[in-house]
Amino acid sequence: MRERRSLKRNIILYVAAALLFQSLAACSPGADSAPAQSEAQQNAGASTAAATPAVDEKLVLAFGDSLYAGYQLGPKEGLAPQLEQALDASGTPAQVVNAGVSGDTSAAARQRLAFTLDGLPRKPDLVLVGLGGNDMLRGVDPVQTRANLTAILDELQRREIPAMLTGMLAAPNLGPDYRAAFESIYPDLARRYDVPLYPFILEGVLGQNALMLPDRIHPNPQGVQVMVQGLTPAVKAALAG
Residues involved in catalysis? 66, 215, 218
Three-state SS at 201:
coil
Q: Among residues 153, 231, 235, 150, which one has the least CA distance to residue 185? A: 150
Q: How far is CA 72 from CA 68, 82, 183, in A?
A: 11, 15, 27
Q: Among residues 109, 106, 189, which one has the least CA distance to residue 145? A: 106
* 96 Rama sector, left if φ>0, alpha if ψ -120 to 50, beta otherwise: beta
DSSP one-letter code for 184: T
The answer to whether 102 touches 46, Cβ cutoff 8 Å, is no
Exposure class string for 99-133: b at 16+ Cβ within 10 A, else e: bbbbbbbbbbbbebbeebbebbeeebbbbbbbbbb
What's phi and psi for 40, nearest 5 deg?
A: -60, -45
Three-state SS at 114:
helix
For residue 47, the one-letter residue type is S
Measured CA angle at 226 (ends 99, 107), to 5 deg: 30
Helix (H) or strand (E) holding 165: strand 163-166
